[in-house]
Amino acid sequence: MKSIKPTNYDQYLFHSGKHYQAYDFMGAHPGEYNGESGTKFTVWAPNAEKISVVGDFNDWQKNKNQLKKIEDSGLWVGFIPEARPGDKYKYWITGYNGQERVKADPYAFKAEKKPKTASIVTDMDKYQWNDSKWLKTRENTDILKEPVSIYEVHLGSWKRNSKNEVYNYKEIADLLIPYLQEMNYTHVELLPIAEHPFDGSWGYQTTGYFALTSRYGSPEDFKYFVDKCHQARIGVIIDWVPSHFCKDDHGLRLFDGTELYESNIKLRAENPQWDTLNFDFGQPEVWSFLISNAIFWFEEYHIDGIRADAVSNMLYLDYGKENSNWVPNEYGGRENIDAIKFLRKMNEVVFSQYPGVMMIAEESTSWPQVTSPGYIGGLGFNMKWNMGWMNDTLEYMKSDPVFRKWEHNKLTFSLMYTYSENFVLPLSHDEVVHGKRSLLDKMPGDYWQKFANLRLLYAYMMAHPGKKLLFMGGEFGQFIEWNYKQELDWFLLDYTKHQEIQNFVRDLNQTYLNESPLWELDYSPKGFAWIEPNDNSQSVLSLIRYNTNDQPVIIALNFTPVPRDNYRIGVPKEGVYEVILNSDEDIYGGSEYSGKTKYQTDAREYHGFPYSIELTLPPLAGIYLKPAKDKRKISRP
């Protein structure tokens, strides 16, 4: 390369918010320039008076390697022959008012392991990928019509070694991937793995957006993890935080002595609920920073999806604030117009470059059209967490079965809006911390009933339209709340009941994969029909899921500890119905109340269907059935 200066076109795109690979020239890039080896540095700091690069290569002396400001631009550039991959560095910035700050590189690809905070010069081109077949298949796949069962993981506390030390990405790959395969998950979702200073933020307060956290190893180690997941046919989703950033002095806050990444309007910048700073989406360079960061994770690490955290905080100027502590938009409203435009553009850019990936919004309000395209007024995501379903369902499941008949609408209300968005059903980390108790401990009743209720919860989730997500530990009945400081209580698998709930989740996932009616039409009303949604007196739900060929799976769920003998439901087809899953089986810790595996239809119209069957519904249990194989036509109600 002849020049270290970004091209005029690169500068134009960057300053107009349209540079979607800004990481290609921003930050530290080792290489050869004018025949000389070294590292090129570029940083955006328009209001700085002077910037030096300090690091291992100059004994951290601030006057040795000064950058030059590009005229009429906020970019500073420089070339340091002595700087090599592996060297630690920071920017020594003299602000416009003479105040000095020492900052990590916003575009650094690697950072020191906490509590140290320096950036590290990194060569990102050393890993040889082996997942081209996976990527080609992904490009031509409509993920909305595929099975998606996600295992949500915090890498630092899934498992640890005998010294209570975290595993690195390679070690985790060799442990976690076989487990994901054994448990029949399709995807793994990782809590944020960009660099963050405080373990207790779980990664949701970021300092290094392009820097993979060094807690678990190197960029090559994580590429190995993703590559091995793909070779095992497992997709990788990461949590990503484009909404706000932490205030640590080495991070983005007051980067050049002024508000660059945050708003210069204090009430908009300050985020009191998390003590962080909100990004300023009216700043085009922030668009280039964040959109290129999303692209970076897909391009450099081959990930398959992003779950954007705290989207509601982006959309509403008054989110989490008292009435007097926010500034309305230019029309007097609470909507963040710049953030809305940003989200639309970000999703448009991601899907144009990476068809087949997932862009998932964690949006906790009823903002419309989150998963509709931007050109019709949507935000452009292709999936959204269904927080309403999660809240209603857990409230229902926590109630004593005696009182559930009066809470029945909490199970059925979600079907009033389930096709308004492309939903993911999350039972996530947020529901098992801060005094909320673990999923198992939320369940009412005695010891046996707690496990039965948990199996029933999972059976209901898998029957409901939408993709699925379960946080680690939930699959084997973790009894205590999640603690990020220690590994999950794997010793519980020495006890039969925890082995049995794990067996059930494994087989439930397998049933889900095997039966296309449970996922093929997740986002179409053609894929779902109630049989009987209103039997609140007995707290029983019955429903049908269909695939594109009209093949049904019948699900009946009994939410009381009272068995329901001779429970008649309508069905769409004459013949024999086979039980393909029963949460009350002995191998799952059930009562084995009914060992019946086949039901013959009666020519008796019921629930609007031409045929019906009489089921034996076990206590606190769900059963899945489907017609024995034949070619007779199915009649819908």
What the block records as the tokens of 438 is 């673990």
Catalytic: which of 189, 227, 362, 487? 362
Cβ density class 251-279: b for 16+ within 10 Å, e for less: bbbbbbbebbbbbeeeebbbbeebebbbb
CA distances from 355 to 298, 416, 483 (A): 11, 30, 36
Look at residues 460, 447, 597 and name the one whose alpha carbon lies nearest to residue 539. Answer: 460
Catalytic: which of 239, 309, 487, 532? 309
Cβ density class 382-420: b for 16+ within 10 Å, e for less: bbbbbbbbbebbbebbebebeebeebbebbeebbeebbe
Helix axes 284-301, 219-231, angle to 10 degrees: 60
Is 362 annotated as catalytic? yes
Look at residues 252, 189, 184, 205 and name the one whose alpha carbon lies nearest to residue 518. Answer: 184
Cβ density class 458-468: b for 16+ within 10 Å, e for less: bbbbbbbbbbb
First to last CA, the chain: 69
SS3 300: helix
Neighbours of 59 (CB within 10 A): 8
Is 602 annotated as catalytic? no
SS3 34: coil
Rounded Cα distance between 389 and 367, Å, is 15
Residue 333 C-alpha from the chain's centroid: 30
What the block records as the tokens of 597 is 């595996």
Catalytic residue annotation: 309, 362
